[in-house]
Amino acid sequence: MRLCRIIVRECLPKITLRPTRSHTSFRPNYYYYFCVPSLNTKMPTIAVDAILFDMDGTLIDSTPGVLKAWSTFAADYGLTNAAEIAHKSHGRRLYDTLKEWCNIDGEEKLQSEIMRFEDEVIEGGPVVLPGAIEFINQIESGRPSESPSYGWTIVTSATNIYTPKALARCAIPLPPAGLVTSNDVSSGKPHPDPYLSGARRCGADPAKCLVVEDAPSGIKSGHAAGAATLAVCTSHTEAAITESGCNPDYIVKDLTRVSARWVDGKIEVTIDESG
């Protein structure tokens, strides 16, 4: 237990405040509080101006299509272990990974191969992940008309051609703030550019945003942008995320473990980290 004088909203969610009577040994005319650990530390609530979602692995799962595409490209470019390449490249821009693994230098050829790769992924049939649509609907349905922030957007390493196709296939609405895709940034994740751009799209301070990610590279990007980070264990185990050193602020199984509501112009997000 410790003694402090602080406003309630700054103490939540990690501590609960209990007012006490003033004591003669304390400074006069001050109101003091004893701060004790919350009994519900596994379900914190945070208030943010906007939520910035990664797409693949966070909102949708395109694993079968990605594995199929990398198998095709492995055969075409003489690569081995397509599954390992798919795992290592997850969360990064195709622009970067195709240059790295397939040694494609020409810009025209690279763009053509990106389109061919993404067409194979779409054919593989991306599916929506649990809780994604419900969580987005909670943000969308409650947003005050006078709010200066759009509330949410999607920040993805995919292209501006693939992204709307994948979202439409999974019945996920386009964010009112517009998308941030690999075409919109000069440096991909883990660089901060993607999530800085996402915050700008929403009209929000990055430090008052929550980044929702499944990949260590994206979590690092969110941290570098100055945002709070929430990891979902949809493509990586909690142990793998921890061992990667990306240090997310919160970790949940999937988006069924989070909920959102608008309160006083901010989005209050309740996060169930209980497992």
Give dist(CA 7, CA 261) in Å, integer: 22
219 close to 231: Cβ distance less than 8 angstroms: yes
> And the tokens for 8?
């309630």
> And the tokens for 107?
């810009």
Task: Verify whether residue 119 is a known catalytic residue.
Answer: no
Give dist(CA 209, CA 198) in Å, integer: 9
Give dist(CA 98, CA 264) in Å, integer: 45
Task: Verify whether residue 54 is a known catalytic residue.
Answer: yes
Give dist(CA 225, CA 155) in Å, integer: 13
Catalytic pick among 56, 61, 193, 214? 56
Q: Is 91 left (phi over 0), alpha (psi -120 to 50) or beta?
A: left
Give dist(CA 125, CA 228) in Å, integer: 31
CA neighbor of 56 nearest in space, from 157, 195, 171: 157
Q: What is the DSSP letter of 186?
A: S
Residues known to be catalytic:
54, 56
